[in-house]
Amino acid sequence: MRLSRYLLPLMKESPADAQIVSHKLMLRAGLVRQTAAGIYAWLPLGLKVLRNIERIVREEQDRSGAVEILMPTMQSAELWRQSGRYDAYGPEMLRITDRHDREMLFGPTNEEMVTSLFRDAARSYRDLPRTLYHIQWKFRDEVRPRFGVMRGREFLMKDAYSFDMDEAGARHSYNRMFVAYLRTFARMGLRAIPMQADTGPIGGDLSHEFIVLAPTGESDVFYHANWDASAEPAEVDFDDAAALQGVVDGYTQDYAATDEKRDEAREAAAGNALRQSRGVEVGHIFYFGTKYSASMGLAVQGTDGTRVNPHMGSYGIGVSRLVGAIIEASHDDRGIIWPDAVAPYAVGLINMRVDDAGCTAAADDLYARLQAAGIETLYDDRDERGGAKFATMDLVGVPWQIVIGPKGIEKGVVELKRRATGEKVELSADDALARVR
């Protein structure tokens, strides 16, 4: 992409209401713009990152055996009356009346809708187990939308829902998601710790919030120091229930809990290895038994002919929140440092002198070769000072920068810089191309 044809509205200063670094940087680097309180438009650079995160989430959901669908954002109040949640949900739900005076709502979550879809589609035990997911916008009328996309009112969520014949099956489905989440966040360069979370009236131990440690996070969390050295799970067969349980047991061995689920005995056992921090909830997985299947009349024929209410779980990831969480975890005082896997462009190509025919020919040529090699490149071909171009590339956080200037042309070299480390080397354009591949 040529910067001269792009939409990249940068800001020198961030607005005063942007309190945390990710919010400031997302505005300054032209990723998003707020259009109403807690509602954001995604500009080209921000959208590319959002799509990259979405792709990783989708790949890992698919790998774990989940099946993608797409449910609408608008839902009927009728559906929510069936579960009894329409009145219980409270003011976070945006309620809308259509021209026929029918009560509608902008979905804050989809348990009711997916339960009704499955109720129509599934007949017997042969149709189970199934896990369905979608990646769709949600609306929650948060009391205090803040921190940019981290707590928006309209936000993008991946939500999955599992249906099993019994609790043992539901645990297997839960474990699939548990491991899929570990892989998902690790691929984005994040360490998300699964923390014991509140299960509400269902009880049991099957609820985990995946928390990324950050001083600006809104959750208070407590964990064993061993988590500081945790690694992502090795390759695993998602269909092997016992093997998967082994992996989950390994990851739940060391203490980690949110505020509501603190355990004095385990904290005492951790002794001076107990750590306290703030964290950002990037995902949440939850088993809730037959809560919705029973209340909404979802039943299938069991192996012995009796009717069985499927055991369900739901599993959310804050896709748009992750953009902010990744920036919180990866930035410096010059700007964003994108992990390669989610970076909007792999390479930022800087032409130092657009008025110099030699420079421009060399930069155009390298740009064409990068494109031919399928390497996503943001090409700064604007008539600007070199200093401003460096500052822009550092701010937008592209992982590799290649600089082409008149002195280098004379020597037959370009400069290659790694954004994360600041390390610079001079090499031929051929070698630079090979390095960024």
Instruction: For residue 349, give the nearest of 336, 360, 338 by alpha carbon.
Output: 360
Residue with tokens 């943001």: 378
Nearer to Mg ion, 93 or 308 (CB): 93
Of residues 24, 28, 134, 140, which one binds ligand ATP by CB under 6 A?
140
- Nearest residue to 75 via CA among 149, 150, 134, 145: 134
Shortest CB 100 distance to ligand ATP, Å:
30
Q: Which is nearer to Mg ion, 111 or 281 (CB)?
A: 281
224 or 284, CB closer to ligand ATP?
284
Q: Which residues contact 321 (CB under 8 A, 6 or more apart)?
A: 149, 150, 151, 152, 155, 280, 282
CB of 339 to Mg ion, least distance (A): 24
Burial of 38 (0-12, 13-18, 19+ CB in 10 A): buried
Q: Does 142 bind ligand ATP (CB under 6 A)?
A: yes
Stretch 69-128 residues interacting with ligand ATP (CB under 6 A): none
What are all long-range contacts of 97-102, with beta carbons under 8 Å and residues at least 24 apart?
Answer: 102/76, 102/77
Residue 367: phi, psi to the nearest 5?
Answer: -60, -45
Site for ligand ATP in 261-290 (CB under 6 A): 281-284
Stretch that binds ligand ATP, among 9-17, 148-156, 184-192, 397-405 (CB under 6 A): 148-156
Among Mg ion, ligand ATP, none, residue 151 binds (CB under 5-8 Å by kind): ligand ATP
Least Å distance, CB 281 to Mg ion, is 5
Q: How far apart are CA 111 and CA 162, in angstroms?
A: 10
Residue 283 to residue 321: CA distance in whole angstroms: 10
Among Mg ion, ligand ATP, none, what binds residue 54 when CB lies within 5 to 8 Å by partner kind? none
Q: How far is CA 75 from CA 112, 157, 315, 324, in A?
A: 9, 16, 19, 28
Helix (H, G, I), strand (E, B) or coil at 328: helix
CB 158 within 8 A of CB 110: no
In this complex, which beta carbon is closest to ligand ATP, that of residue 248 or of residue 325?
Answer: 325
CB of 322 to ligand ATP, least distance (A): 7
Residue with tokens 């044809």: 5
Binding site for Mg ion (CB under 5 A): 281, 284
Handedness of CA 47, 50, 56, 59 (dihedral sign): negative
Measured from the CB atom, the residue of 155 and 255 that comes closer to Mg ion is: 155
Contact 392, 10 (CB under 8 A): yes
Site string for ligand ATP, 157-196 (x = CB under 6 A): x---------------------------------------
For 31, counting Cβ atoms within 10 Å of its Cβ (0-12 exposed, 13-18 middle, 19+ buried), the class is buried
316 makes contact with ligand ATP (CB under 6 A): yes
- Residue 253 CB, nearest approach to ligand ATP (Å): 23
Peptide bond into 44 cis (omega under 30): no
Cβ of residue 133: shortest distance to ligand ATP, in angstroms?
12
Looking at the Cβ atoms of 73 and 97, the one nearer to Mg ion is 73
Instruction: Name the CA radius of gyration of the chain, rounded.
Output: 25
| Of residues 198 and 332, the one with the C-beta less far from ligand ATP | 198
Chosen from Mg ion, ligand ATP, none, partner binding at 171 (C-beta under 5 to 8 Å by type): none
**CB-side neighbour CA atoms (13 Å) of 166:** 3
56 binds, among ligand ATP, Mg ion, none (CB under 5 to 8 A by kind): none
Q: Binding of ligand ATP at residue 318 (CB under 6 A)?
A: yes
408 binds, among ligand ATP, Mg ion, none (CB under 5 to 8 A by kind): none
User: In terms of CB distance, is 106 or 390 closer to ligand ATP?
Assistant: 106
In whole angstroms, how close is the CB of 325 to Mg ion at the nearest point? 14
For residue 364, the minimal CB distance to ligand ATP (Å) is 41
CB of 220 to ligand ATP, least distance (A): 12
Among residues 247, 281, 282, 276, the alpha carbon closest in space to that of 262 is found at: 276
- Shortest Å, Cβ 346 to ligand ATP: 27
Query: For binding to ligand ATP (CB under 6 A), which residues are involved?
Result: 140, 142, 151-152, 155, 157, 281-284, 316, 318, 320-321
